[in-house]
Structure 1
Amino acid sequence: MSSEHTLAASARRWALELTRRRSVTGTADEASFGPWLAERLRREPAFGRAEVWSFPVAAGDGRHVVAMLIRGKGRRTTVLTGHYDTVSVSDYGELEPFATEPDALTGRLQEKLQTASSAAERRARYDLGSGAFLPARGLLDMKAGLAAGLAVAEGFAASPGEGNILFLAVPDEEANSAGARAAAQKLPSFASEHGLDLVAAVNLDAIADDGDGSDGRAIALGTVGKLLLTAFVAGRATHAGFPLAGLNAAVLAGAVAQRVEWAPELADPGWSRATPPSLLGIRDDKVGYDVTTPGAAFATFNVLFVSRTPAEILDRFDALCREALAGVLEQLRRRAVGASGAGPDAVAEVPVLRFEQVAAKARSASPGDLEAALAEAASLNAPLPERCRLLTERAWRASGLSGPAVVTGFGSVPYLPTRLSQRQDAQRLAACCERAAREAAGPTVRCTDVFAGISDMSFLGEADESSLALIGANTPAWPLLGLADRGCIAGLPIVNAGPWGRDYHTPLERMHVSYGFEVLPRMVDSIARRMLQPC
Structure 2
Amino acid sequence: MKGQTYFQTKQQLIDLLCELVSVPSITGSSAEGEMAKFIHRKFLQLPYFRKHPSYAQLHDTEDGRFIVTAFVKGQKTNKTVILVNHHDVVGVEGYGIWKDAAFNPIELTKRFYGQRELVPFEVRQDLDRGEWLFGRGIMDMKSGMVTQMSLIERASNGEFEGNLLFLSVPDEEVSSIGMRSAVPVLLDLAKQHSFQYSLVLNGEPMFSRYPGDTRDYLYVGSIGKVLPGFFCYGKESHVGEPFAGLNANLLVSELTRALELNTDYCEVIEGEVSPPPTILSQGDLKKEYSTQTPNRALSLYNFLVMKKPMDKFVSSLLESAQQAAREVEKHYNNRAFHYGMMQSSTPRSVNVHVFTYEKLYKYGVDTYGKEHVDSLIKKVQHETSSLDHREQTTAILNELALLCKELSPMIILFFAPPYYPAVCTDDHPLVKKLVQILTKTGVEKYGIVFHKQLYFGGISDLSYVGLDHALETFLPLVHNMPLWKKGYDIPFSDLEQFKVPVFNLGPRGRDAHQWTERLDVNYSFGPLMDLLQMTIKECFK
TM-score (norm: length of structure 1): 0.91
Structure 1 unaligned residues grouped into runs of 5+: none
Q: Which residue of 1 aligns with 2:538?
A: 530
Q: Which residue of 2 aligns with 1:103?
A: 106
8 Å contact kept, 1:385–1:411: yes
Q: Which residue of 2 aligns with 1:178?
A: 177
Q: Distance in 2 between matches of 1:523 and 1:284?
A: 52
Q: Deviations over 1:454-508 (max 9, x none)?
A: 1101012444344332211111111111324532463321111111221111111
C-alpha change, 1:314 and 1:482, in structure 2 (3 Å) is: closer
Q: Deviations over 1:385-435 (max 9, x none)?
A: 22111111222233464210100021112111101175xxx3213312331
Q: Which residue of 2 aligns with 1:288?
A: 288
8 Å contact kept, 1:502–1:510: yes
Q: Distance in 1 between matches of 2:178 and 2:293?
A: 42
Tell me which amino acid in the other structure corresponds to 2:260.
E
Q: Which residue of 2 aligns with 1:474?
A: 480
Q: Distance in 1 between matches of 2:299 and 2:331?
A: 21
**Aligned match for 1:388, one of 380, 389, 393:** 393
Please state how far the C-alpha of 1:98 moved relative to its aligned partner: 1.7
C-alpha change, 1:186 and 1:363, in structure 2 (3 Å) is: farther
Please state how far the C-alpha of 1:94 moved relative to its aligned partner: 2.9
Secondary structure in structure 2 of the residue aligned to 1:339: helix
Please state how far the C-alpha of 1:31 moved relative to its aligned partner: 1.6
Matches within 5 A, 1:373-412: 373-374=377-378, 376-377=380-381, 380-399=385-404, 401-412=406-417
Q: Which residue of 1 aligns with 2:418?
A: 413
Q: Which residue of 1 aligns with 2:506?
A: 498
Stretch moving more, 83-92 or 222-231: 83-92
Matches within 5 A, 1:262-277: 262-270=261-269, 272-277=272-277
Q: Which residue of 1 aligns with 2:151?
A: 152
C-alpha change, 1:39 and 1:136, in structure 2 (3 Å) is: same
Tell me which amino acid in the other structure corresponds to 1:108.
R
Q: Which residue of 1 aligns with 2:323?
A: 323
C-alpha change, 1:339 and 1:96, in structure 2 (3 Å) is: closer
**Does 2:19 correspond to 1:17?**
yes
C-alpha change, 1:80 and 1:339, in structure 2 (3 Å) is: same
Stretch moving more, 365-374 or 90-99: 365-374
Secondary structure in structure 2 of the residue aligned to 1:487: helix
C-alpha change, 1:432 and 1:10, in structure 2 (3 Å) is: farther
Tell me which amino acid in the other structure corresponds to 1:384.
H
Secondary structure in structure 1 of the residue aligned to 2:78: strand
Q: Distance in 2 between matches of 1:126 and 1:286?
A: 49
Q: Distance in 2 between matches of 1:289 and 1:385?
A: 24
Q: Distance in 2 between matches of 1:138 and 1:338?
A: 57
Q: Distance in 2 between matches of 1:247 and 1:524?
A: 59
C-alpha change, 1:126 and 1:264, in structure 2 (3 Å) is: closer
Secondary structure in structure 2 of the residue aligned to 1:147: helix
Q: Deviations over 1:250-300 (max 9, x none)?
A: 111111111111112211233623211111111111111101111111011
Q: Distance in 1 between matches of 2:212 and 2:349?
A: 59
**Aligned match for 1:456, one of 445, 455, 461:** 461
Q: Distance in 2 between matches of 1:143 and 1:343?
A: 66
C-alpha change, 1:256 and 1:142, in structure 2 (3 Å) is: same
Q: Which residue of 2 aligns with 1:52?
A: 56
Please state how far the C-alpha of 1:520 moved relative to its aligned partner: 2.0
C-alpha change, 1:332 and 1:519, in structure 2 (3 Å) is: same
Q: Which residue of 1 aligns with 2:278?
A: 278
Q: Which residue of 2 aligns with 1:38?
A: 40
Q: Which residue of 2 aligns with 1:483?
A: 490
Q: Distance in 1 between matches of 2:364 and 2:113?
A: 59
Q: Distance in 1 between matches of 2:9 and 2:501?
A: 25
The number of residues matched between the two structures is: 521
C-alpha change, 1:83 and 1:219, in structure 2 (3 Å) is: same
**Aligned match for 2:360, one of 358, 361, 368:** 358
Tell me which amino acid in the other structure corresponds to 1:132.
E
8 Å contact kept, 2:233–2:409: yes
Secondary structure in structure 2 of the residue aligned to 1:486: helix
Q: Which residue of 1 aligns with 2:239?
A: 240
Q: Distance in 2 between matches of 1:35 and 1:212?
A: 38
**Does 2:311 correspond to 1:311?**
yes
8 Å contact kept, 2:329–2:349: no
**Aligned match for 1:518, one of 500, 522, 526:** 526
Matches within 5 A, 1:88-99: 88-99=91-102
8 Å contact kept, 1:69–1:167: yes
Q: Distance in 1 between matches of 2:377 and 2:22?
A: 42
Q: Deviations over 1:211-246 (max 9, x none)?
A: 77653x211001111101100001011111111111
Secondary structure in structure 1 of the residue aligned to 2:272: coil
Stretch moving more, 355-364 or 268-277: 268-277
Structure 2 unaligned residues grouped into runs of 5+: none
Secondary structure in structure 1 of the residue aligned to 2:238: coil
TM-score (norm: length of structure 2): 0.90
C-alpha change, 1:172 and 1:115, in structure 2 (3 Å) is: closer
Q: Distance in 2 between matches of 1:214 and 1:338?
A: 56
Secondary structure in structure 1 of the residue aligned to 2:273: coil
Q: Which residue of 2 aligns with 1:438?
A: 440
Q: Distance in 2 between matches of 1:211 and 1:254?
A: 29
Secondary structure in structure 1 of the residue aligned to 2:526: helix
Q: Distance in 1 between matches of 2:65 and 2:117?
A: 40
Q: Distance in 2 between matches of 1:183 and 1:453?
A: 20
Secondary structure in structure 2 of the residue aligned to 1:287: coil
Stretch moving more, 312-321 or 105-114: 105-114
Please state how far the C-alpha of 1:193 moved relative to its aligned partner: 1.4
Q: Which residue of 2 aligns with 1:29?
A: 31
Stretch moving more, 503-512 or 440-449: 440-449
The percent identity for this pair of structures is: 24
Q: Deviations over 1:303-334 (max 9, x none)?
A: 11111112212211111111112112112222
Tell me which amino acid in the other structure corresponds to 2:391.
E
Q: Which residue of 2 aligns with 1:83?
A: 86
Please state how far the C-alpha of 1:372 moved relative to its aligned partner: 4.4
Secondary structure in structure 2 of the residue aligned to 1:66: strand
Q: CA RMSD in A?
A: 2.4
